[in-house]
């Protein structure tokens, strides 16, 4: 006999449980309780439920998934004097992902839902790619490649074809999606110092804090020199200024680069255009790496021109979008090649190409404290690093520092 959902189950309890199982891997990681077995179980349960639950349950589940994954995005608005918008943004993302997963609610056929969900892995609302359904298996016994996710969906959906004990037959296919290890290149023969800072956004851009920040950066570099590091990496916007307008600071970094290679995040102004960049100082030479992919609603507004200008003037106080370079920048330090990635770029597949084995990523996660954002970002970086056999050296402000692979 087919189970009959009560309204309470269909509209409230079931959606919350599905969203919990779908999001659990992020929170287990955040609080230090990651278990591959637990993540495998919760991911399979969540997907099975999405494929077989009533239509309204699927729609509402998408709303709660959106909140549990993205509630933190509006936190940055408080630094623009828009604290009142924080939870409106969270609500907006809940609605967006209710519609995103709600596509599956157009049908009750589990196999069609599986095909729709697989198709959604290629869809990024507002050019924001952090909602990756296959990410739920990044720390599990299930592989994270597209074909493995497709196999899992087909196996779980195919149970609808059978009845009784025979429903278990398609689950045998899950064995084909098991993956317990990934090919990761050996660490380079370099002594690398990743500088972690924890400067609140309340103070980071204040002029009275600037001198202290600069001194702390130089102290970290001098300490790395004293301990014979080959490369020191400072976070995104570690120097919160337009470096090409501060010759004295740049010269001091050039001088130290005779003893150690220095990569630091900063800003760059060129021909009236603003760039979010990394500067590499190496034996007195300077290489500027400009960001190639901007954060939607953070560094650019993904709206038509007439709306973009209004949002920048009205909400962001007349600020303009950052500008991008045409392609990523690669560095070579003592014969080792690195791809440069600034924050959001490290979570985009475009930066991970077959020739890249090592990546330097720098981030400022202080915009979103306190939240799961640094953990979420680390899981996404790990997702792409494992898919592409890449090691990522990640220096951050506000959490998430470390080597990711």
Going by DSSP bridges, is the β-strand pair 285-290/330-333 parallel, antiparallel, or unpaired?
unpaired
Q: What pLDDT band is residue 278 in, cutting at 50, 70 and 90?
A: very high
Residue 282 forms beta bridges with which residues?
Answer: 285
Residues marked active site are found at 236, 291, 343
User: What is d(CA 191, CA 346) in angstroms, rounded to the nearest whole number?
Assistant: 22
pLDDT per residue over 374-402, tens digit each? 999 999 999 999 999 999 999 999 999 99
pLDDT interval class at 275 (50, 70, 90) = very high
**pLDDT-based confidence at residue 194 (cuts at 50, 70, 90):** very high
Residue 303 to residue 311: CA distance in whole angstroms? 9
Determine the Cα–Cα distance for residues 15 and 11; give it in Å rounded to an integer.
Answer: 7
Per DSSP, what are the bridge partners of residue 175?
Answer: none
> Residue 207 — very low, low, confident or very high, per pLDDT cuts 50/70/90?
confident
Other Cβ atoms less than 10 A from the Cβ of 160: the count is 17
Question: Which CATH number is 192-292+327-404 given?
Answer: 3.60.110.10
What is the pLDDT, as a whole number, of residue 317?
Answer: 56
pLDDT digits (tens, 9 = 90+) for 305-342: 767 666 666 665 555 568 889 999 999 999 999 999 99
Give the SS3 label for residue 394: strand
CA distances from 349 to 114, 227, 299, 316, 382 (A): 23, 35, 19, 29, 11
Q: Are 362 and 236 in contact (CB under 8 A)?
A: yes
Per residue in 151-187, pLDDT (tens digit) is 999 999 999 999 999 999 999 999 999 999 999 999 9
Instruction: Give 206 or 404, the one with higher predicted confidence.
Output: 404
pLDDT at 296: 84
Write down the residue that tokens 């056929």 correspond to. Answer: 109
Total residues belonging to the chain? 405
- Give percent above pLDDT 90 in the chain: 84
Nearest to 233 by CA among 274, 178, 289: 289
pTM above 0.85, yes or no: yes
Using CB atoms within 10 Å of the CB of residue 248, give its burial: 0 to 12 exposed, 13 to 18 middle, 19+ buried: exposed
Q: Which value, in Å, is the radius of gyration of the alpha carbons in the chain?
A: 23
- The span from the CA of 69 to the CA of 66, in Å, is 5
The three-class DSSP label of residue 30 is: helix
At residue 338, the 3 state secondary structure works out as strand
In the chain, CATH 3.60.110.10 covers 192-292+327-404
Sign, CA torsion 260/266/269/274: positive
The reported pLDDT for the residue numbered 1 is 42
């Amino acid at each position: 006999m087919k189970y009959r959902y009560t309204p309470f189950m269909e509209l409230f309890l079931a959606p919350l449980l599905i969203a919990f199982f779908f999001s659990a891997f992020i929170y287990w990681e955040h609080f230090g309780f990651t278990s591959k077995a637990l993540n495998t179980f919760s991911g399979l349960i969540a997907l099975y439920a999405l494929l077989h639950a009533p239509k309204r349950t699927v729609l509402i589940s998408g709303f709660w998934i959106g909140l549990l994954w993205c509630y933190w995005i509006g936190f940055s608005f408080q630094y623009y004097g828009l604290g009142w918008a924080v939870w409106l943004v969270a609500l907006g993302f809940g609605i967006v992902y209710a519609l995103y997963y709600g596509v599956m609610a157009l049908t009750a056929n589990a196999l069609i839902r599986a095909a729709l969900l697989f198709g959604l892995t290629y869809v990024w609302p507002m050019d924001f790619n952090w909602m990756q359904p296959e990410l739920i298996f990044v720390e599990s016994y299930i592989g994270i490649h597209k074909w493995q996710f497709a196999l899992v969906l087909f196996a779980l959906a195919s149970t609808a074809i059978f009845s009784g004990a025979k429903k278990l037959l398609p689950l045998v296919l899950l064995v084909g999606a098991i993956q317990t290890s990934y090919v990761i290149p050996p660490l380079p023969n370099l002594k690398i110092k990743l500088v972690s800072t924890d400067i609140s956004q309340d103070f980071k851009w204040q002029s009275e804090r600037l001198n202290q920040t600069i001194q702390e950066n130089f102290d970290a570099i001098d300490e790395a020199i004293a301990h014979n590091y080959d490369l020191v990496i400072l976070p995104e916007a570690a120097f919160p200024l337009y470096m090409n307008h501060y010759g004295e600071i740049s010269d001091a970094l050039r001088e130290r680069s005779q003893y150690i290679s220095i990569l630091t995040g900063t800003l760059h102004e060129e021909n009236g255009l603003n760039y979010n960049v990394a500067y590499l100082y190496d034996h007195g030479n300077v290489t500027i790496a400009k960001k190639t992919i901007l954060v939607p609603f953070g560094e650019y507004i993904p709206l038509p021109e007439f709306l973009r200008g209004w949002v920048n003037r009205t909400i962001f106080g007349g600020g303009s979008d950052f500008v991008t370079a045409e392609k990523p920048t690669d560095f070579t330090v003592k014969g080792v090649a690195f791809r440069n990635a600034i924050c959001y770029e490290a979570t985009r597949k475009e930066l991970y190409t077959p020739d890249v084995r090592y990546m330097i990523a720098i981030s400022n996660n202080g915009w979103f404290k306190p939240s799961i954002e640094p953990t979420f970002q680390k899981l996404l970086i790990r997702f792409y690093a494992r898919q592409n056999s890449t090691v990522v050296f990640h220096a951050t402000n506000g959490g998430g520092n470390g080597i990711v692979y």
